Amino acid sequence: MSTADLRPATLADAPAITALLNEIDRIEIGRPETDQHTVEADLKHQQTDLTQDSWLAFDGDMPVAYGLLWDESGGERIDIDHYVLPDHQRTGLRMLVAMEARALAKARANGAERAVVHLHLNTRPTTDTALLAERGWSVVRTHHVLRRALDPAADVPPEAPAGVRVRACATEADRVRVHEL
């Protein structure tokens, strides 16, 4: 794949990106889990300039890799999403190199000396983790998502302990307090 096949994503690409991410979902977790609304929201992220902070690669008409970068920290932390189909690791690597360079530029523009790039991956990602390790990436933490079917008749909420009152989180002050907890 030539470098001309790697370009910034646009909002109009949301259907193609959604299809790519659902194909990657099928490979990684066995079922599609990405909706177009979520992709569109990501593409509209306030800290993202799509012309500089997004990448989309095609093999002919088929999207094969997608990347998005955003900076909410205003410091050294830069977050990225990086998705690539298994047979297109070289394209994914080329995209990753571009993302690393952009992350460093954003962090330096924030006054930081380095970029601390955060990439969330599934347990069995389509991204070749050996390529990440070769570039100095390491696992910082692992998260597990558990799924369990609920039966409304059998799985009733527990009773609150004596002296504890449960109420709706209705105001901004409530939301701030919950976040603090």
Predicted confidence at residue 40, as pLDDT, reads 97
| pTM attached to this predicted model | 0.79
Q: Residue 98 has what pLDDT?
A: 97
The answer to whether residue 57 scores a pLDDT higher than 60 is: yes
pLDDT at 138 > cutoff 80: yes
Residues above pLDDT 90, as percent of the chain = 73
The torsion angle over the Cα atoms of residues 36, 104, 107 and 42, rounded to 10 degrees, is 0
CATH superfamily of 3-180: Gcn5-related N-acetyltransferase (GNAT) (3.40.630.30)
Strand bridging mode 116-119 / 77-84 = parallel
Residue of 122, 131, 141 whose CA lies nearest to 97:
131
pLDDT at 1 over 80: no
Q: Residue 65: CB partners within 8 Å, gap ≥ 6?
A: 6, 20, 55, 56, 57, 82, 83, 84, 85, 88, 91, 92, 95
Cβ 74 vs Cβ 94: under 8 Å: no
What would the pLDDT profile of 25-53 be if each residue is shown by its tens digit?
A: 999 999 999 999 999 999 998 888 999 99
